[in-house]
Amino acid sequence: MSRIGVFICHCGENIGSVVDCPRAAQTLATHPGVVYSTDYKYMCSDPGQNLIKDAIEKHKLTGVVVAACSPRMHEPTFRNAVAEKGLNPFLCEMANVREHCSWVHTDKEEATQKAIELIRLMVEKVKNNEKLQPIHVPITKRALVIGAGIAGIQAALDIANAGHEVVLVEREASVGGHMLQLSETFPTLDCSQCILTPRMVEVARHKKIKLYTWSEVDAVDGYIGNFEVTVRMKPRSVDLAKCTGCGSCWQKCPSRAIPSEFNAGLSVPDPENPKKRLGYRTAIYTPSPQAVPNKPVIDREHCLHFTKGKCGVCAKVCPTKAVDYEQKEELVKEKVGAVVVATGYQVWSVAKAAADYPYIGYGEYGYGAHPDIIDGLQFERLLSASGPTGGKVRRPSDGKEPETVVFLSCVGSRDNEKGFTYCSKICCMYLAKHAMLYKHKVHDGQAYNFYMDLRAGGKTYDEFSRRTIEEDDCVYLRGRVSRIYPRDGKLVVQGADTLSNAQVEIEADLVVLATAMIAQPDAEALAQKLRVAYDKDRFFSEAHPKLRPVESQTAGIFFAGACQGPKDIPEAVAQASGAASKVVALLNADELEREPVVASVHRAPPPVYSTCFGCFFCERICPYGAIEREEIRDRKGNLIKTVAKVNEGLCGGCGLCAAACRAHAITLKGFNDEQLYAVVNALGEE
Amino acid sequence: MEVGYYPGCALKAHATGLEYGTSIEAALGALGFELKEVPDWNCCGASAGHMTNTALTRALNVRNLALAEAAGLGEVLAPCPLCTKELALAHHEVKEHPDLLAQAQEAAEMVYRCTVQPITLIELLHRHRDLIGERAAGKLPAVKVACYYGCLHTRPPEVMTFDDTEQPTTMDEVCRILGLAPVEWTHKTECCGAGFTMSKPTVVARLTGRILAAASRAGAEAFIVACPMCHANLDMRQGEAAADAGLPEDFHMPVLYLAQVLGLALGLEPAALKLDNHFVDTTDLVARLRGETVAATTPEGE
């Protein structure tokens, strides 16, 4: 005979102000099988939990129902409490009388009735609950980090320095990401490359880090503690083991006018030779002078050997015979226990339209139509010592030093009509930095900045942007620009100054658009591979916006950096270290305890073996890929039948298979038919 | 081919855009279209109506749409973009909001089932560009023209969706088929000042002046337009506007309607297209477009 205890929580005013908790407790006390029923102001508090523990001892309870908030909130609290008194934690259930009752109702009488009914249903369920034992899963003590920008590098180093192996996968030919492209960083004007390159070198040399560059993650199978990752190594056409990085190949490569990704497509006329432009790359190239590994890759779309079947100069000049035109794509499997996603962002190219890049806007700004209208990342390249001009500010059209530069904030950010609703967060600060650095390099130049609001939240950020205005005389104009067009060798910027309520027309030599920071174009595809959620702007969604900011909804997968939302460098690094500490905590355990709420397929002794008849409908609908096939054989080894089997490590406990099984051969533990019938039958009983 | 026709106030009788209406009827007729005028149509509520009473404007347009629907017209050509915008906006709003539909139907005392699609002349011609290609490809010389769309053809963007809001290209495409050489320029959709031409002509002079200057910088020899308001400002106010923009005193850039160049390409007579009705003289340009040699005239000779 069941001996159930019922504990009703007021949750302060949350439940108590709508549901008459003492009356509900009295009513439940008379319910068959209930031997103890009480209410308390905060059941999750220590005294509240002690109330439950004492009652288990005193009344020899065989089951507990806590009527309180959602089980998502406090189920672990109460299950741990009952476990302390030796009761199997799965004999404790919660009735949600807050989210499902008091928060959504106002009529006290009806809400109390509903609460009583909800509690009664759970009492009937608990009477049929079974003792379940947690599942123990072994953990592969290695981590995968996807993306080797600053966030990925930081996460990989932190995990590796804590003693765990890391597989770091980067799709470009070098690690470093966007940070390597930047000139100096706000608010301290640290040289971006100088602070980044030591980390890049460290990540490549670290004994615990296995680095894949020019590679992508093709598939992630498995589950927390036991992921199997397929890494696709794209053909680099250069044997990394033989290549010494001497540079003979790209110095001799005849294809010399290819826009460089590292220079964000920017090129500037060569002052020595007006017919030549600086900033291009060759077909065999290392992405940047500080590339890690500092070894080239062949861009097969532009290489004459691949496009025309001619040439072969690089193979001829290579002293170590490292160039390999025949190199094929390779798939490698890696086993890991945890995954950090650090795939970063892109700068919105408002002028670029492509099949896989549906975003285009701001035709009135002429970006892409005029060479002297550039984006923020391109201006970084103009300022950078490793850029096309060696850090001199020059116009892309004619190589002249611009006397007037206009900066535009929020091109695509905070623009519901034409771009994205969100704030890209970094632009106010980097435009302040741009204007300041421009003034440092061109002393008699004049910078203007059109802005919507100046957002400088961050340690010493506001002081920095004030410096741009007060010391470097950048004119800040609050308002939007309606059109930019060329006139007599200048760019006319037509806009509004909403503070003085005037129309403004500025003749500029160079215009810089702070285009929005957007998610990677293939973020959706990656999210689907990883089974993690993403938001309307394709940034990955964290498990909880405040309390679980680095975790995904999928156990064992964590986020770092701008793939989760616009971030500056310090924030990306902080999040990366946070994700790394989560991974280290996970990998430090020898095995993982999982909730035993999983499906199981019927098994019986001969001659039945199993009521499963092997239709494998369950296999098709399981979202976790947890259904396996098991062959049942007799003692002589003859195959009797093939039946379904649940991989408990993969099973997410959703119950789809149990509902779909035509033979009723699948049961979801903790939610079996008897339990659910008991709940349904209790509905409407008085 | 049958197409509904809503001429609106600007294209009829003694109105500003009489040349536009006349040339549309002539050119589309020559192309093989049969224009079915919406019976008993009323004002679209432009300028005065939509600024003061949106419900009234919506009802006026729902009445027009309901009349077209009752006449069995699926598509209605409204060559004035302000008409198209008012009609399309009303259609868009009542389709999305049953309460607005009910209100407009009650005021108009008619039932509207939301089956009529109002379209602009540019959209119609662009859609039938293959037909134009068959009939008139390359019939005109490569005169450099600035296709000026004005503010309304692509706005509001959620309703006027046939082309890019800021850098439209469909009119350029049609002109290119005819043989003209549309220039790349910067002020395709800038405001001409529109109705301020009556109340604040100085504003119009400034705004239209910028458009003249931009077209002239791009090397254009003529404007092609598809809006009676744009035409009025570019044509009638050209002198003041050119002066405001600091253009030379003898600045002179003919402003032709899209239907007029289409008509010329189809071999129609200039008089049938009312090409002699503009303020800025079109004689030389029309002669060039018709492939006639222009007698060299010098100012001294006159």
B157 contacts A486? CB cut-off 8 A: no
- A107-111, A148-152, B22-26, B48-52 — which is least confidently predicted? B48-52
First to last CA, chain B: 48
- What proportion of chain B, given as a percentage, has pLDDT over 70? 96
Band of pLDDT at residue A624, cut at 50, 70 and 90: confident
pLDDT beyond 70 at B13: no
B190 contacts A417? CB cut-off 8 A: no
Band of pLDDT at residue B301, cut at 50, 70 and 90: very low
- A208-222, A317-331, A358-372, B201-215 — which is least confidently predicted? A358-372
Nearest chain B residue (CA) to A363: B166
Most confident listed range (A406-415, A599-608, B9-18)? A406-415
Nearest CB among B164, B165, B214 relative to A485 is that of: B214
pLDDT of residue A553: 85
pLDDT of residue A352: 55
Q: Which residues of A touch B213 (CB under 8 A)?
A: 487
Band of pLDDT at residue A354, cut at 50, 70 and 90: very low
Burial of B47 (0-12, 13-18, 19+ CB in 10 A): middle
In degrees, rounded to 5, the angle at the alpha carbon of residue A372 between the alpha carbons of residues A366 and A378 is: 100
Instruction: Identify from B153, B161, B169, B186 which residue to disrupt to test chain A contact, counting A C-beta atoms within 10 A and taking the largest count.
Output: B186
pLDDT beyond 70 at A358: no
Q: Which of residues 409-428 of A touch B (CB under 8 A)?
A: 417
Band of pLDDT at residue B298, cut at 50, 70 and 90: low
The SS3 call for residue A573 is: helix
CA-CA-CA-CA dihedral for B24, B28, B33, B34, to nearest 10: 40
Nearest CA-CA distance, residue A427 and chain B, Å: 24
Calculate the average pLDDT of chain A: 94
Nearest CA-CA distance, residue B294 and chain A, Å: 32
pLDDT of residue B294: 60
- What proportion of chain A, given as a percentage, has pLDDT over 90? 86
ipTM above 0.90, yes or no: no
B166 contacts A362? CB cut-off 8 A: yes
DSSP A181: G
Nearest of B229, B240, B254 to residue B146 by alpha carbon: B254
Q: Does B187 touch chain A (CB under 8 A)?
A: yes
Nearest CB among B166, B184, B213 relative to A363 is that of: B166
The SS3 call for residue A646 is: strand
A362 contacts B214? CB cut-off 8 A: no
Q: Does A363 touch chain B (CB under 8 A)?
A: yes
pLDDT of residue B297: 54
Q: Does B219 touch chain A (CB under 8 A)?
A: no
| pLDDT tens-digit series, residues B174-233 | 999 999 999 999 899 999 998 888 899 999 999 999 999 999 999 999 999 999 999 999
Nearest CB among A361, A362, A485 relative to B186 is that of: A485
pLDDT beyond 60 at B299: no
Q: Does A362 touch chain B (CB under 8 A)?
A: yes
Nearest chain A residue (CA) to B169: A363
Residue A194 tokens read as 């100088």
Q: What pTM does this model have?
A: 0.81
B186 contacts A486? CB cut-off 8 A: yes
Q: Does B186 touch chain A (CB under 8 A)?
A: yes
First to last CA, chain A: 21
Band of pLDDT at residue B121, cut at 50, 70 and 90: very high
| pLDDT tens-digit series, residues A174-192 | 999 999 999 999 999 999 9
| pLDDT tens-digit series, residues A560-591 | 999 999 999 999 999 999 999 999 999 999 89
pLDDT of residue A177: 97
- Pairing label, strands A142-146, A338-341: parallel
Q: Which of residues 146-165 of B touch A (CB under 8 A)?
A: 157, 164-165
B164 contacts A487? CB cut-off 8 A: no
Using an 8 Å Cβ cutoff, are A575 and A561 in contact? Answer: yes
pLDDT beyond 90 at A618: yes
B167 contacts A363? CB cut-off 8 A: yes
Mean pLDDT on B254-275: 96
| pLDDT tens-digit series, residues A411-420 | 999 998 888 9
Q: Does B169 touch chain A (CB under 8 A)?
A: no
Nearest chain A residue (CA) to B164: A363
Residues 6 or more apart whose CB falls under 8 angstroms from that of A13 comprise none
A417 contacts B166? CB cut-off 8 A: no
Give A347's strand partners.
A517
pLDDT beyond 70 at A353: no
Q: Which of residues 515-544 of A touch B (CB under 8 A)?
A: none
Residues 6 or more apart whose CB falls under 8 angstroms from that of B297 comprise none
Q: Does B278 touch chain A (CB under 8 A)?
A: no
CB pairs under 8 A between A and B: 23
Band of pLDDT at residue A349, cut at 50, 70 and 90: confident
pLDDT of residue A686: 60
pLDDT beyond 80 at B302: no
Strand order in the sheet with B117-119: B34-37, B2-5, B75-77, B117-119
Q: Does B40 touch chain A (CB under 8 A)?
A: no
Q: Which of residues 194-213 of B touch A (CB under 8 A)?
A: 213
Whether omega for the bond prior to residue B156 falls within 30 degrees of 0, making it cis, is yes
| pLDDT tens-digit series, residues B139-181 | 999 999 999 999 999 999 889 989 988 889 999 999 999 999 9
pLDDT beyond 90 at A390: yes
pLDDT of residue A537: 94
Instruction: Identify from A359, A481, A483, A488 which residue to disrupt to test chain B contact, counting B C-beta atoms within 10 A and taking the largest count.
Output: A483
Nearest CA-CA distance, residue B260 and chain A, Å: 28
B157 contacts A483? CB cut-off 8 A: no
Q: Which residues of A touch B149 (CB under 8 A)?
A: none
Q: Which residues of A touch B184 (CB under 8 A)?
A: 369
Using an 8 Å Cβ cutoff, are A224 and A271 in contact? Answer: no
pLDDT of residue B167: 85
pLDDT beyond 80 at A356: no
Mean pLDDT on A486-490: 91
| A423 Rama sector, left if φ>0, alpha if ψ -120 to 50, beta otherwise | beta
A417 contacts B187? CB cut-off 8 A: no
Q: In sequence order, which ranges of A418-500 are alpha helices (DSSP H)?
A: 427-441, 461-470
